[in-house]
Amino acid sequence: MNWLWYILSGLCAGVAAGMGMGGGTLLIPVLTLALGLPQHAAQGVNVLAFLPAAVAALVIHAKAGRLHLRACLPIIFAGALGALAASFLAGRIDAPWLRRMFGGFLILLACLRAFGKRLKK
């Protein structure tokens, strides 16, 4: 029955990733809270699961003409540097702190989403 949870969480994370929302915001809590994976392992699984989902979404978005290469290149470069630095940092942070940081990040995203339009006014 555990495999069913893995499949369902992967499917939901893939849907979120395909919509450009980041599947890890869903996948990491499911892996840690529902399936009992340690935080570091869940983040590693998320990165690996992200690759094929990102490639599939990239092909669809490229075919639809929604990619603007000039805007993408600086983001790709900065994102790769940020991911490299954060990966090293995450490996050095104790799991309880990493969980708190990820939880805080999710709370921040929720607040921005809930109140973001009000802040712009």
pLDDT tens, residue by residue, 89-107: 988 999 999 999 989 988 9
pLDDT for position 121: 53
What average pLDDT score do residues 43-66 get?
Answer: 86
What average pLDDT score do residues 8-32 get?
Answer: 80
pLDDT for position 113: 80
18 pLDDT more than 80: no
Tokens of 71: 């805007």
65-90 residues labelled b (16+ CB within 10 A) or e (exposed): eeeeeeeeeeeeeeeeeeeeeeeeeb
pLDDT for position 108: 92
- Tell me, what amino acid is at 8? L
Tokens of 26: 């869903």
What percent of the chain clears pLDDT 90, i.e. is strictly above it?
Answer: 24
Quickly count: other Cβ atoms within 10 Å of residue 92's Cβ: 7
Q: What is the pLDDT of residues 72-86, one digit of tens each?
A: 899 889 989 998 998
Torsion (CA) 55, 60, 66, 72 in degrees, nearest 10: 10
More confident residue, 116 or 121: 116
Cα distances (angstroms) measured from residue 10 to each of 1, 7, 34, 40, 61: 15, 5, 13, 17, 20
